[in-house]
Structure 1
């Protein structure tokens, strides 16, 4: 791995070299200044020594020429001062000491001899001081010259070095900052593919490398965010599509359920629409009229159809809340559920009444729990539709049924009669009509009371309900008169069935409060279409004429219509 040239070290070097150069020049300058100062002090000191030696020579002559105590004392003081000046030079001190010693030893000798003895010493001291002064002056001059050259050469060199290093550093910094600035502008504009060229191993290269890593990481982050955004958009689209599908299915369910006329149609609609939401199957069970039994009303998928079960077998029915169970959930399974799948049971509630239970199947328990919101919307829509259908059937039943006997009323007879006549003409089969009347019915009301009369009509209604087929139309026409419409029934068959009805009615024995037993008989008129289109009113008049003939013949008999 190449050794990284630290930009910090380069900056430190660029700062240190000029500083060292300046310090060197300053040290040399200060040294020269101190040497010059010392030289000046030395010159002054040397001159003082030389002057003091000259003064000592003068005082020596004066003392030797005219020896007095005052002159002797003046000489001694001058000698002491001279001795103090040369205290830092032992050789001079020895010479000065030898001067005084020679002067004392030569007492008594001639003046010229004595002066000749001290003169060499004094001259030697002066020569030594002059030599020392010359030497110090030469050293000082050398150092001053060196300081001058250091200033003349060092300062320009330092400036040149600082300028060179500054230019190099500026070029190096610009080599990164300019591309980095352009790169940041491109990143700001949204271009994450930009990279800064990496040259070298210094801190600027590290910055460039980190910038490239940052933009690469940012690019990856943006790509991940875009991928996440696409995923979220797809998820949202999926949820919207699922919600739209759910709304469409629920709307379709409500629309078809609203158009249903019977519970059988409703069961078929549920079995066909529900698989779009719950493909694994399910069932709808409704409470029987006794409220103690649930009957499977509709089923789809693998759910079993038909059958009954008790409300106690379902946890949802017991708790009154939605109940999910199955693999993956710690919840008990309802006893009526034997699927082994994830199961969700929901109560059908509408208009403050519990109608039954919806059972839905899923792959496992968690899937059942997750689909609880959708299942609840489905169940609420279904409950409201079934409640409306029940209400519709109740209203329709009340509009077409006779409340006393439970048979169809005259309104239903008139609505259905026209359709049956048209169907008979279209199919080419005969249509027979029976019109019957309770014999002496007024006596039941007058003698035994209206309660007995109502009982007679109810019992007769039960007999009529048992005697005829499901496709036959049995109606209470009014008062004690009844109509029976027999599609695809020949005149002979109609006559036989009318006779069977008369016989069954005659066998009735009714108990009344004031009688041990009452016998009821009926008179029946029979007519049949001939295959060509007929009017219902004409057919009713024909049956009425036949009934009149039966009564005229003595009642409790059957008579057929005969054209006169």
Structure 2
């Protein structure tokens, strides 16, 4: 430990003292100045250090000292110090102090970087443990977003999963953002746009200030008030699987060391998502219809219950579309059950390609299909049903070229005059609308309550 005495307690003395106090390998044995109100005198007293308000030169010869900082700027005092310092202690002037400050600053920066990296590694370890314990997709997605926010120290974040078939990103988790932000759950990856640029990159993209980044023109993000962000592409062996964002509502400066930790987090996120996707494939065997590959009725009933609760709690729109293949018995009787199965499979594939990634399409039984559409009002649900009806009628499915048509019943939660509605009651309302479509001549869309 280096024993230090500071002679001269002005601003320079205070600066030296405040820096030396940060390190446990310096022992301050005294601070001296003739002015009792000198800045370093106050600091020394606050730190319970020895203070000298008289000329200490006569004391220095008898004290155990390694280094004296002469910050008086007085050449006479400096000369006297040099005379008495021989074989007793070293003398450092203000110029030497500046050099020492640079060394200390470098040590502080290095220590800060080490602490930051250790902190980031600790967070990565904790995130890894959280993800390994997570059992549901929601827990995994939220854990990934929370981990990114902790590492970056930013107050908001989101995770979007990439659908390579229709080139869309589907928002699966958010933190610290308003409900308006995730109102539109999916958005296309535009050719030449920023999102495509992020997905084609291997490294995180750091944007300290969006106002200085004219290529970024996302109105939803700008409306949210986000001023800086970090976009972390999640790249698996077979290509991109999503983007992880950390957001702040003011410009930020990002340390260069952050890139390494973000890459490690991205690797953890990819492994967790792929593990979840593999688990979902196994679980799908119990919740999928074996003929069409769509969700089965049991799964739909389970999801519908939670979606009704969510829509009522958040006052959001929720719609059901129940559809039935017109005169399907005639198809089976005339062309056989193999052809009937082919019709079911073709329609299922057609409908699945046309709905949004987060809509839930299920085979409800026999020739009936049911579509659960969150964040969808009656007008949008009717428009979706009409598109499906038109597409079905255009398919060439039967040997004689005749049309296969479908009837649709649409029901929106707000149309039902009941405070608490069960999944069974919701489906019955959609079934009433479907019954009206059948009675009205088939191949049409009818709604509940009109």
Please tell me the TM-score bracket, short chain as reference: 0.3 to 0.5
Indicate the structure with greater helix content. Answer: 1
Indicate the structure with greater strand content. Answer: 2
Alignment TM-score, normalising by the size of structure 1: 0.37
The structure number with the bigger radius of gyration is 1
Alignment TM-score, normalising by the size of structure 2: 0.44
